[in-house]
Amino acid sequence: MTSRKVVSFENIKVACKNCSLATLCLPMGLTPDDVERLDCIIKRGRPYHRGDHLYRGGDKFHSLRVITSGSVKTYSPNEDGGEQVLGFHLPGELIGLDAIQDDCHTCSAIALETTAVCEIPFSQLESLSAIMPSLQHQMYRLLSREIGQDTEMLTLLGKKSAEERLATFLLSFSERFKQRGFSASDFFLSMSRHEIGNYLGLAVETVSRLFTRFQDENLLRVERKHVQLLDIPRLYDIVQGSDSAKSSQSRG
């Protein structure tokens, strides 16, 4: 009963126009009027707890989802029982785009911590986008952006060393936290080492060793999930892949 109260409270109070994520999220670039219309179709349910699935591979597709707080892991189960982690998603990020294709989720999404989401029923979004050119354009852009991000990831997995992969990973979180008004150099990672390794195509042990090594080299301080980046420029050097990282160290 308490929870029912909370839900209805949220339904009244929370709206895109008041949401701090509006500049990162679907409403990005829409006029206030258009945002209002979009808002009408959005559903806000109760939060998920750590380990809850938002959806599973094979589920019928109804809604896209935007994380509003917390974080989510998407992954696709692969034939031999294992899984491939496809992404970690922070507030403002849209998930479920892969399911449009044949009206069925191809991957699963699970909350890494207590997580709230907005659900956007896709059929309604589609109808709305047909009469709102700005929304249609925004949808095309978001889908295209997703493709662009995936191709960056392909380069990461195809060409980069373990070191470059982890540095890229950390800087990605750094930038995304910064965008969201949090510290770019001091944050908590909500996923396990195992999940990081899986995502980056590395063994857990490699990830662990790299964290230790980065710490030894004063690039960062790490204690479990708490990460403090101490030398962001040098991490960027590492991402570039050239041997410039070492020379940059001696610079300082």
Partner DNA sequence: CGAGTAGTTGACGATTGTCAAGATGGGTGG
Partner DNA sequence: CCACCCATCTTGACAATCGTCAACTACTCG
Check residue 230 for interaction with DNA (CB under 7 A).
no
Considering the complex, state which of residue 23 and residue 212 has its C-beta at the smaller distance from DNA: 212
The least distance separating DNA from the CB of residue 209, rounded to whole angstroms, comes to 5
d(Cα 165, Cα 176) in Å, to the nearest integer? 17
Considering the complex, state which of residue 62 and residue 193 has its C-beta at the smaller distance from DNA: 193
The least distance separating DNA from the CB of residue 71, rounded to whole angstroms, comes to 14
- Placement of tokens 């662009």 in the chain: 148
With CB under 7 A as the rule, give the number of residues binding DNA.
20
Check residue 28 for interaction with DNA (CB under 7 A).
no
Residue 208 near which of a second copy, DNA, none (CB within 5-8 Å, type-dependent): DNA
The least distance separating a second copy from the CB of residue 10, rounded to whole angstroms, comes to 29
Check residue 15 for interaction with DNA (CB under 7 A).
no
The structure tokens listed for 154 are: 């392909």
The least distance separating a second copy from the CB of residue 12, rounded to whole angstroms, comes to 31
**Eight-class DSSP state of 247:** H
Residue 225 near which of a second copy, DNA, none (CB within 5-8 Å, type-dependent): DNA
Check residue 201 for interaction with DNA (CB under 7 A).
yes
Check residue 208 for interaction with DNA (CB under 7 A).
yes
Where does this chain bind a second copy (CB under 8 A)?
A: 76, 78-80, 82, 84, 86, 97-102, 106-107, 126, 129-131, 133, 136-137, 139-141, 143-148, 150-151, 153-155, 157-159, 198-201, 240-242
What counts of helices (H) and strands (E) characterise the chain? 9, 11
Check residue 73 for interaction with DNA (CB under 7 A).
no
Check residue 217 for interaction with DNA (CB under 7 A).
no
**HEC profile of the chain:** CHHHHHHHHHHHHCCHHHCCCCCCCCCCCCCHHHHHHHHCCCEECCCECCCCEEECCCCECCEEEEEEECCEEEEEECCCCCEEEEEEECCCCEECHHHCCCCECCCEEEECCCEEEEEEEHHHHHHHHHHCHHHHHHHHHHHHHHHHHHHHHHHHHHHCCHHHHHHHHHHHHHHHHHHCCCCCCEEECCCCHHHHHHHHCCCHHHHHHHHHHHHHCCCEEEECCEEEECCHHHHHHHHHCCCHHHHHHHHC
Residue 77 near which of DNA, a second copy, none (CB within 5-8 Å, type-dependent): none
Check residue 203 for interaction with DNA (CB under 7 A).
yes
Check residue 224 for interaction with DNA (CB under 7 A).
yes
Residue window 145-164: x/- pattern of binding to DNA, with contact defined by CB under 7 A? ----------------xxx-
74 phi and psi, to 5 degrees?
A: -105, 140
The least distance separating a second copy from the CB of residue 167, rounded to whole angstroms, comes to 14
